[in-house]
Amino acid sequence: MSENIEYTTTGKPHPYHIVRPSIWPLVGSLAGGIFAMGMVLFMHGAEVMGMKPGIWGPIAGVLSIILVMFFWWKDVLYEAVTERIHSDIAMIGMRYGMALFIASEVMFFVAFFWAFFDSAFYPKEVIGFVWPPAGLHTIPPFDLPFLMTMILLLSGCTVTWAHHEIIEGNHKAAAKAIGFTVGLGLFFLCFQVYEYSHALNYFGFKDGIYPSTFYMATGFHGFHVFVGTVFLAVCWVRAAKGHFTPERHFGFEAAAWYWHFVDVVWLFLFIAVYWWGNTVGMDLTDGKDIVPAVAGTSSH
């Protein structure tokens, strides 16, 4: 009887959120296609109707994706803040979805770590059976990489501070803490660009298994830092507008989960790639571990 009353009074026979028809998934697919096609044309220097789009192809794709993100997120925020139709049951589904997404990202990075450790523990003949490869100038771990590690660890503290302030209902303090986190994320990205600009003087992406795994792992991590920074920047604006309450703030929670994931991945990268991978090598010519005389330069 109660179910019938609920159905006749609200027109909603269940607590789940049914998404209204939206054009943004279709437009988002088209934007992604424009970006992919632009990248292919740019990397191959191809022509379209007698013209080379060059770098403008990828730029058009990125701008299309940003526009889709803006309008799509705007619709989601309207549902959450104005209509308040994200029920507690729907929020459980969102939490599971975010947790599974992060789990898929973990496996994404596992592939890069697997490639790195396979090459490090079992160096092949093409690199002289030694790791790091002979003649390779590696990056000192306790120089710029250590500073970048401290920046990310500090950002993990500020995002936790922001979460605490939201739970306490302090909107201004929460917005300030999120702003600090966004700033630290930008600092990290600037330092990584600086690191790459110098690393490219010593080894390029195609110069062997070490450069390939190094740039793929650290580069994709940098991309995830960029995504997390954008995620938190949106939360920064929302916090300033008072969208988050102590009871309902999953939008920020999802960003915080993602940011902590980025922090943990970087710790693994610092320890495995920068520290262990650069300063302790394997020499299978005699089957013994070797320690280089000078950290930050080739072991062999």
Q: What is the pLDDT along the chain (300 residues), one digit of tens a residue?
A: 444 444 445 556 677 777 788 999 999 999 999 999 999 888 887 777 777 778 888 899 999 999 998 999 888 888 888 877 777 888 888 899 999 999 999 999 999 999 999 888 887 877 777 888 877 788 888 989 999 999 999 999 999 999 999 999 898 999 999 999 999 999 999 999 999 998 888 888 888 888 889 999 999 999 999 999 999 999 999 999 888 888 888 889 999 999 999 999 999 999 999 998 877 655 555 544 444 433 344 444
Q: Tokens 């920020």, residue?
A: 252
Distance CA 119, CA 272 (A): 12
Same domain (yes/no): 176, 265: yes
Same domain (yes/no): 186, 286: yes
Which of 85, 100, 131 is the endpoint of a domain? 85
Which of 85, 106, 131 is the endpoint of a domain? 85
**Domain tally, the chain:** 2
Cα 280 vs. chain centroid, distance in angstroms? 28
Task: Give the distance between the most distant pair of CA atoms in the chain.
Answer: 80
Same domain (yes/no): 194, 67: no
What six digits make up the tokens of 227? 């995504």
Which amino acid, 136?
L
Whole-number CA gyration radius for the chain: 24
- Specify if 9 maps to a domain: no
End-to-end CA gap in the chain: 80
Give the pLDDT confidence score for residue 205 in this predicted structure.
83
Write out the residue range of the structural domain in which residue 51 sits. 18-85
Residue 136 makes CB contacts below 8 A (sequence gap 6+) with 202, 203, 208, 210, 298
Same domain (yes/no): 116, 261: yes
Residue 175 makes CB contacts below 8 A (sequence gap 6+) with 236, 239, 240
Cis peptide before 132 (omega within 30 of 0): yes
Which of 69, 85, 101 is the endpoint of a domain? 85
Give the pLDDT confidence score for residue 1 in this predicted structure.
40
Give the pLDDT confidence score for residue 29 in this predicted structure.
95
The CATH number covering residue 276 comes to 1.20.120.80
The CATH number covering residue 43 comes to 1.10.287.70
Within 10 Å of residue 84's Cβ, how many Cβ atoms?
9
Residues facing residue 283 across a β-bridge: 130, 288
Same domain (yes/no): 102, 206: yes
Same domain (yes/no): 141, 46: no
- Specify if 3 maps to a domain: no
The C-alpha angle with vertex 112 and arms to 110 and 116, in degrees rounded to 5, equals 115
Give the pLDDT confidence score for residue 281 in this predicted structure.
58
Give the pLDDT confidence score for residue 3 in this predicted structure.
44
